[in-house]
């Protein structure tokens, strides 16, 4: 039986006392935890020490490298074309991946979009796409590579072989109050993205009431940390800091968000969804060597829609099939005339979750037809009795709890709300 080169308690103490963990000790504790030698209780103590005392940039880089080294690394070199991926830190109504991946692929750039499922108030891209009859999230590496060749875009679940250390640590953070640690968030996201093998990466880091990082300064710190990790690993990386105080678009849920995404691909859709899709597509194409690509034209002339349809079919989905519809609906109307001055993202995310659009535990199913359709956005003028939003579900017994979540979440006043840019800033290395 081989002797371990370090003791977990010694490594925990270094970080507990605010020190810098040596590179080899950091690599060891990640490997030993993945092997099961370091106990959950010890890794929980280490994660809490990181939350409280932070990490140097060099430590975060080594932590990320160790998590990548715990599993396989993919390569898309055989494709013979650039690859660029996008990651969003998640929000309410954030369906941008759906129109974005086929839009970028329409320019001959491969988009390997490894996506996740929703938990709590933030939706999951895979849950949305599973509203489409027949569509499947699980692909082999060979299927993924073939689809990146033609039609050029794939949205699928990450295989279990990518950064297995992250999978263990992510589950532990969830139950030990250490989810918010920026070094752990950054290494979790970037270990999977770097192991995936993409040439370039654009990050959509959200701030505001419906975001994981509500404080803009912490969102900026996270964005800078992840951009640095990407660049240190040879992946060209930029980030956009985007507003998530108000839900994105006019739909929150799964099937209804797919419908809205298809509207965008057809040259329509809500202005904010189009704006963010175009902004992220420009970033991705610039990193792939096409800074002058006419992104709007590809939405209007049907090229992006053609890729979408081929991408859905390649994963056994039927792009022409009817999407699930709710059995019950409940519409809230304006009690007075005025201007909708506020619509807070977080309560609307929670309400959609309570209607069945999200899950409380990883193993819970979602109701694809459940969610909320918005009829107005902040700044819109409303008349008394005008529909504001509609709750959607299969079971009207859920409506009361959803409505409870929405108490105080919106406001009608006499003045226009202050204008806030959707994209606050661009962060580069």
Instruction: List residues with catalytic annotation.
Output: 87, 166, 173, 188, 192
- CB neighbourhood size of 381 (10 A): 12
Nearest to residue 307, comparing CAs of 160, 17, 176, 113? 113
Q: Which helix (H) or strand (E) holds 403?
A: helix 399-405
Whole-angstrom distance, CA of residue 303 vs CA of residue 285:
15
Whole-angstrom distance, CA of residue 71 vs CA of residue 194:
12
Six-digit token string for 178: 């250490």
Torsion of CA 36, 40, 41, 45, to 10 degrees: 110
Six-digit token string for 426: 């661009």
Non-local CB neighbours of 221 within 8 Å, separated by 6+ positions: 182
Whole-angstrom distance, CA of residue 399 vs CA of residue 329:
9
Contact by Cβ (8 Å): 119, 108: no
Contact by Cβ (8 Å): 249, 389: no
């Amino acid at each position: 039986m081989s002797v371990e080169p370090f003791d977990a308690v010694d490594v925990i103490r270094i970080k507990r006392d605010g020190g810098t963990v040596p590179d080899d000790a950091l690599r060891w504790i990640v490997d030993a935890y993945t092997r099961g030698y370091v106990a959950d209780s010890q890794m929980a103590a280490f994660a809490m020490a990181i939350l409280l005392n932070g990490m140097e940039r060099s430590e975060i880089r080594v932590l990320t490298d160790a998590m990548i080294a715990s599993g396989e690394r993919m390569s898309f070199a055989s494709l013979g074309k650039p690859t660029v991926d996008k990651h969003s830190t998640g929000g309410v109504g954030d369906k941008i991946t759906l129109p974005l991946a086929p839009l970028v692929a329409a320019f001959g750039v491969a988009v390997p979009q490894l996506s996740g499922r929703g938990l709590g108030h933030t939706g999951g891209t895979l849950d949305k796409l599973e509203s489409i009859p027949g569509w499947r999230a699980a692909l082999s590496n060979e299927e993924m590579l073939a689809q990146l060749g033609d039609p050029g875009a794939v949205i699928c679940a990450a295989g279990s072989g990518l950064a297995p250390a992250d999978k263990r640590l992510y589950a532990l953070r969830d139950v030990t109050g250490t989810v918010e640690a920026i070094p752990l968030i950054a290494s979790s996201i970037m270990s999977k993205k770097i192991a995936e093998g993409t040439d370039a990466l654009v990050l959509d880091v959200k701030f505001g009431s419906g975001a994981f990082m509500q404080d803009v300064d912490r969102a900026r710190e996270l964005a800078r940390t992840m951009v640095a990790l990407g660049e240190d690993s040879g992946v060209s990386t930029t980030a956009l800091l985007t507003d998530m105080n108000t839900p994105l678009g006019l739909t929150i849920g799964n099937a209804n968000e797919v419908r809205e995404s298809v509207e965008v691909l057809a040259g329509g859709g809500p202005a904010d969804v189009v704006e963010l899709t175009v902004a992220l597509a420009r970033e991705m194409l610039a990193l792939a060597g096409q800074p002058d690509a006419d992104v709007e034209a590809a939405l209007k002339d049907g090229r992006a829609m053609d890729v979408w349809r081929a991408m859905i079919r390649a994963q056994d989905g039927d792009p022409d099939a009817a999407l699930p519809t709710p059995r019950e609906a409940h519409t809230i109307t304006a009690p007075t005339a005025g201007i909708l001055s506020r619509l807070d993202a977080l309560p609307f995310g929670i309400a959609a979750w309570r209607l069945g659009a999200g899950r409380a535990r990883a193993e819970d199913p979602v109701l694809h037809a459940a969610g909320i359709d918005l009829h107005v956005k902040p700044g819109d003028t409303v008349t008394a009795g005008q529909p504001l939003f509609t709750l959607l579900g299969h079971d009207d017994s859920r409506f009361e709890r959803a409505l409870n979540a929405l108490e105080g979440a919106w406001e009608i006043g006499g003045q226009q709300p202050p204008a806030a840019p959707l994209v606050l800033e661009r962060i580069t290395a």
